[in-house]
Structure formats: structure tokens, C-alpha cells
């Protein structure tokens, strides 16, 4: 009797684990397909049927996992955010002084624009035809808010008088580097942006009398 119950319980657990693995696998395949197709062709161009076909899953898997296309787009952009954030944070660990750390954000931008398959900023592309208050706008606001906050924090650590003002200027340079890297097919765009950022930072640090300017 006890053996039967144990066997039944083990079988149920195994079945649940198998079902969970299948669901996770379907989610991963959908996200992989979305990442490839959305980034290459655009979220508004690629329809659900193409995603499903490319992922090799049932249509129900998409709706059960993400609810609808907007949910999938939101998850796709969250993934792109994590990629950018991870690249920037890894770059920051290579530098020690506040000045170096702040300017290293442009080294990360350089890695972005020279990466294989680079096709511009996913958030800019997705926002081109997005609706106000929709998933794309929310994801873009989150991503840009994180970047602006990081630049402000690094500028404050460097002791400049107006961290928010400098962060806004550097954010504009960062955006320009990524845009130029795509539109002009210029792999040196981030290097040029870093040179301009260096001038802005040194001027701001000198005005504040910060030792980071030296």
C-alpha cells in the first residue's frame, strides 16, 4: 500500500517536472524567436504567426505564457534591457576611479555598436510606432530611466556640481553613439562620443573643484 502511494507520488512529481520543463522550453523558444525576429525586422512588422512558426510551438503556448503579443514584446524588451545592463555593469568593474567608471559607459556603447548583428537600439526601433502608455513605452521608460539614473549616480560619485545636468548631456551622447553606429554604420561612433563626454566631464569636474578632474 505504502509502495503504491510512493510510486504514485513519484510519478506525479515527475509528470509535473516534465510539464514544467516543457513550459519553460516553450517560453525560451518563443523568446529566442522574438529576440531574433523582433530585433532584426521590428516588433510591428513581425506577426505572432511568424514567431510561433519560428519557435516551433503551438499558438496556445504563446497565449498561455505571455497572454498576447504585447506581453511577448514586453518580455523581449526586458531581455534587451538585461543585455545592455549586463554589458555596462561588466564594463564598470574594470575601472576604479569615478572618472574612469563614468566614461567607461561609452566603452560599453562601443561593444554594443561593434557586436555581430548590431541593428540599432531595440527600444528606439520598437518605439517608432508604439502607442502611448503601452508595453513598449513602459519598457523604454524603464530602460532609459535606469541609464539616466546610473549616469547621475556615477556623476555624483565623481563629485560634479550638477550630476543630473551632466547625466542628461552624457545620455544624449550615448544615444547619439548608438544611433550613429546604426545609421552611419560607424563603429567609431562610441569613441567619438567618449571623447566629447570626456570634455564635458572634465569641465564639470573642474567647475566643481573635484579631484576627479585631475
Helix (H, G, I), strand (E, B) or coil at 68: coil
Which string of DSSP letters, residue by residue, matches 85-132? Answer: HHHHHHHHTT--SHHHHHHTHHHHHHHHHTSTT--S-HHHHHHTTPPT
Domains in the chain and their CATH numbers?
14-67 (1.10.10.60), 74-214 (1.10.357.10)
- pTM reported for the whole predicted model: 0.84
The rounded distance, in Å, linking the Cα atoms of 83 and 161 is 31
Q: What are the tens digits of pLDDT across the range 78-101?
A: 999 999 999 999 999 999 999 999
Whether 111 and 91 have beta carbons less than 8 Å apart is answered as yes
Other C-beta atoms lying within 10 Å of the C-beta of residue 8: 10
Other C-beta atoms lying within 10 Å of the C-beta of residue 32: 13
Tell me the three cell numbers of residue 25: 522550453
Q: What are the tens digits of pLDDT across the range 126-182?
A: 998 788 889 999 999 999 999 999 999 999 999 999 999 999 999 999 999 999 999
The rounded distance, in Å, linking the Cα atoms of 65 and 20 is 12
Instruction: Report in angstroms the alpha-carbon separations of 79 from 52, 122, 145.
Output: 18, 10, 16
Amino acid at each position: 500500500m505504502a509502495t503504491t502511494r510512493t510510486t504514485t507520488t513519484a510519478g506525479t512529481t515527475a509528470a509535473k517536472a516534465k510539464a514544467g520543463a516543457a513550459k519553460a522550453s516553450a517560453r525560451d523558444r518563443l523568446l529566442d524567436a522574438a529576440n531574433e525576429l523582433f530585433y532584426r525586422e521590428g516588433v510591428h512588422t513581425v506577426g505572432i504567426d511568424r514567431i510561433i512558426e519560428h519557435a516551433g510551438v503551438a499558438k496556445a503556448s504563446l497565449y498561455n505564457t505571455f497572454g498576447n503579443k504585447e506581453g511577448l514584446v514586453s518580455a523581449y524588451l526586458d531581455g534587451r534591457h538585461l543585455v545592455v545592463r549586463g554589458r555596462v555593469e561588466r564594463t564598470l568593474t574594470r575601472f576604479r576611479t569615478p572618472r574612469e567608471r563614468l566614461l567607461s559607459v561609452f566603452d560599453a556603447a562601443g561593444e554594443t555598436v561593434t557586436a555581430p548583428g548590431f541593428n540599432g537600439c531595440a527600444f528606439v526601433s520598437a518605439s517608432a510606432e508604439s502607442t502611448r502608455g503601452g508595453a513598449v513605452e513602459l519598457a523604454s521608460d524603464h530602460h532609459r530611466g535606469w541609464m539616466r539614473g546610473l549616469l547621475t549616480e556615477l556623476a555624483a560619485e565623481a563629485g560634479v556640481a550638477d550630476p543630473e545636468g551632466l547625466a542628461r548631456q552624457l545620455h544624449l551622447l550615448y544615444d547619439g553613439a548608438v544611433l550613429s553606429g546604426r545609421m552611419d554604420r560607424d563603429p567609431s561612433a562610441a569613441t567619438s562620443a567618449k571623447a566629447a563626454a570626456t570634455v564635458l566631464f572634465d569641465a564639470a569636474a573642474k567647475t566643481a573643484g573635484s579631484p576627479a578632474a585631475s
